[in-house]
Structure 1
Amino acid sequence: MSERHIQQLIPAQMVSDGAGVKIRRSLGLQQQLRLDPFLMLDCFGSDQASDYIAGFPPHPHRGFETVTYMLDGHMLHQDHLGNEGHLMSGGVQWMTAGSGIIHSEMPQQESGLMRGFQLWLNLPAAEKMKDPAYVDLKPAQLGRRTLTDGGTAVVIAGLLKISTESQQTPGPIQGLSTDPQYYDLSLPAGSELHVALPSEHNALVYPFEGEVHISADGSHSLVKTHHAAVLGKGDTLHLVAKTAVRLLVLAAKPIGEPVVQYGPFVMNSAAEIEQAIRDYQAGKLTKGAAGTIKVAAV
């Protein structure tokens, strides 16, 4: 068993996106602050309507996937093809933009707490121009598990394996080329957890309630709230919760290809970006109806 250590800490910074939504951005703050295949990680959260009410009006995407995890609140997704999806507290939307999609994400509340995450996950060159597709996942469709120390786990993608236990918990998103692992873990004070992660995957930890220690080779390193901890190589993540904490664990197989980004377009070359801009301006960004992502039983 080889424990992963912290390689880099990226504190989230407050930025504004969409039509003025206030968010905390860690991955993606700068182009060099990525972790292949993860392009961007945003955390939005406020009980002040002025921080989120303007939402994200219609905008395009090409060349990657977006994963929206709504912790609290109600958001409506609409796309250029007339599809609609209501994203409620505890729900997830997994969208493959592929060759192109134009969509909006607008709040369906005028007050109260709205909180969640949006992750941008890159696609390999061979998949960047695939047909767009998405799936809206209700909370009951996600993998869930009560941990032996009283903590809880929500599994959105991949297969959660605890190194000290035989039980495995699948998430509904399986079989993608980057094999993403996406867990939401809640750990009580005084608990420890050994999470098995594929050794070839890049991985990070993001605590959003409380803070967590990562133990490797007998030493503990602190990850404060709203810091993305990029992890080194290994097959085990050893988490130590000295106080109660809730955190995301993200891991995926690196693609190892050039990344050229221009706003909502992520391709492999400048020429492909220029083509995406021309296609968008000419109304040719998208091709046909968006399909549905298959989900696994949990």
Structure 2
Amino acid sequence: MSLRPTLETRLAQPAIEGAGVHLHRAFGFQDPSELDPFLLFDDFRNDRPEDFKQGFPWHPHRGIETITYVLEGSVEHSDSLGNTGNLQSGDIQWMTAGSGILHQEMPQGNTNGQMHGFQLWANLPSSLKMTEPRYQDVKGADIPEIIDDDGTRVKVIIGNFWGKSGPVDGIAADPQYLDIYVPPGVKKTFPVDTYRRAFAYVFDGAGAFADASAPTGILLEKEVAGQEVNIRDLSGNRTLIRFGTGDEVTVQAGPEGLRFLLVSGAPIQEPVAWHGPIVMNTQEELRKAFAELRNGTFIQPAH
């Protein structure tokens, strides 16, 4: 087994999207090869309804898939295909935009006015850019949760982990998407397929990730699996950790425990032409998509 080195840690940055939704962006609109096949990750945590109630009115997507995971509050959605729904706390939605879709997402706070969720964009390969759009809405009760003897909890949202399979299927990026809680003081190692790009997003508590190399900013050293490795200490306030290659990630939870998302996917390794909500392979394809938006032919007829 080989430990994945920490290539980079960074805090998610404030951003405003839609009709004035205040959120934090961990990555996006930068180098699309950095976390290929993933393009963007937003954390929309907010306890001020005036900062999110205007939502994300009608807008287009083409060439990608979006994964929305709601922790608190709800998100009402509708689209140009006639689909409507309401994602509640714990629910997830995977939208394959494919050839093109118009949709809107309107977040609603819980009884205390709080809203929290995540949205991840996954690229589609050229062979599936113009596939037929579809939705997969999954209730939180249908997401399997594994509780280990030491109290570690893992929700398997997508992919296979510790003998459980997530309820979302048929995804081009073939990702693994886990919501992990590690109890106070517990050290835990999680397998990650060697051939996938991987990142963690720490959003609650604090802890330290073991590192097989010695990047800048190491605070202390511990012995893990019989070898000296470095430990990078992290707070849980919206921290992204980008990993190098290897087949496992080791974390030591702090005194309050640690909760994070662990996401990995097979890289597509194709050219990316990207503007706003549309991601294609060439600039010509991108120009065509926006021309179709202007002339009203963006939405393809159903087969």
What TM-score comes out, normalization by structure 2 length?
0.90
Q: Does 1:232 align with 2:227?
A: no
5+ long unaligned stretches in structure 1 = 162-167, 291-298
266 and 29 in structure 1: CA distance in 2 versus 1, 3 angstrom threshold: closer
Which of 263, 281, 284 is the equivalent residue of 1:250? Answer: 263
- 1:144-183 → structure 2 map (5 Å cutoff): 144-161=145-162, 168-183=163-178
What is the CA distance between 1:279 and its match in structure 2? 1.1
- Partner amino acid for 1:241? A
- Partner amino acid for 1:246? R
What is the CA distance between 1:143 and its match in structure 2? 1.8
- Aligned equivalents of 1:286, 1:143: Cα separation in 2: 35
Structure 2 residue aligned with 1:191 = 186
Percent identity over paired residues: 40
Which whole-Å deviations, capped at 9, do the CAs of 1:178-233 have from their partners, x for residues lacking one? 21000000111111221111100000010000223111342211233312111010
Q: Size of the alignment, in residue pairs?
A: 284
- 1:24-103 → structure 2 map (5 Å cutoff): 24-28=24-28, 30-31=30-31, 34-103=34-103
SS of the equivalent of 1:210 reads strand
SS of the equivalent of 1:3 reads coil
Q: What root-mean-square deviation, in Å, do the aligned CA atoms of Structure 1 and Structure 2 show? A: 1.6
- Partner amino acid for 1:191? V
Structure 1 contact 184–247 (Cα < 8 Å) conserved: yes
Structure 2 residue aligned with 1:263 = 276
Structure 2 residue aligned with 1:274 = 287
- Aligned equivalents of 1:92, 1:63: Cα separation in 2: 20
- Aligned equivalents of 1:24, 1:34: Cα separation in 2: 19
Question: Which stretch shows the higher mean deviation, 177-186 or 60-69?
Answer: 177-186
What is the CA distance between 1:74 and its match in structure 2? 1.1
Which whole-Å deviations, capped at 9, do the CAs of 1:67-109 have from their partners, x for residues lacking one? 0000000111100122101100000010000000000001345
What is the CA distance between 1:59 and its match in structure 2? 0.2
31 and 19 in structure 1: CA distance in 2 versus 1, 3 angstrom threshold: farther
What is the CA distance between 1:242 and its match in structure 2? 2.2
5+ long unaligned stretches in structure 2 = 213-228
Question: Which stretch shows the higher mean deviation, 205-214 or 261-270?
Answer: 205-214
What is the CA distance between 1:263 and its match in structure 2? 0.4
- Aligned equivalents of 2:234, 2:122: Cα separation in 1: 23
What TM-score comes out, normalization by structure 1 length?
0.91
- Aligned equivalents of 1:79, 1:202: Cα separation in 2: 31
- Partner amino acid for 1:181? Q
Structure 1 contact 27–34 (Cα < 8 Å) conserved: no
Question: Which stretch shows the higher mean deviation, 83-92 or 220-229?
Answer: 220-229
SS of the equivalent of 1:242 reads strand
- Partner amino acid for 2:235? K
SS of the equivalent of 1:24 reads strand
What is the CA distance between 1:160 and its match in structure 2? 1.4
What is the CA distance between 1:289 and its match in structure 2? 4.6
Structure 1 contact 28–34 (Cα < 8 Å) conserved: no
- Aligned equivalents of 1:289, 1:48: Cα separation in 2: 40
Q: Does 1:212 align with 2:207?
A: yes
Structure 1 contact 160–195 (Cα < 8 Å) conserved: no
179 and 81 in structure 1: CA distance in 2 versus 1, 3 angstrom threshold: closer
80 and 267 in structure 1: CA distance in 2 versus 1, 3 angstrom threshold: same
- Partner amino acid for 2:254? K
- Aligned equivalents of 2:154, 2:262: Cα separation in 1: 10
- Aligned equivalents of 1:239, 1:159: Cα separation in 2: 20
- Aligned equivalents of 2:79, 2:73: Cα separation in 1: 20
Structure 1 contact 5–231 (Cα < 8 Å) conserved: yes
Which whole-Å deviations, capped at 9, do the CAs of 1:113-132 have from their partners, x for residues lacking one? 11000000001110010000
What is the CA distance between 1:173 and its match in structure 2? 2.1
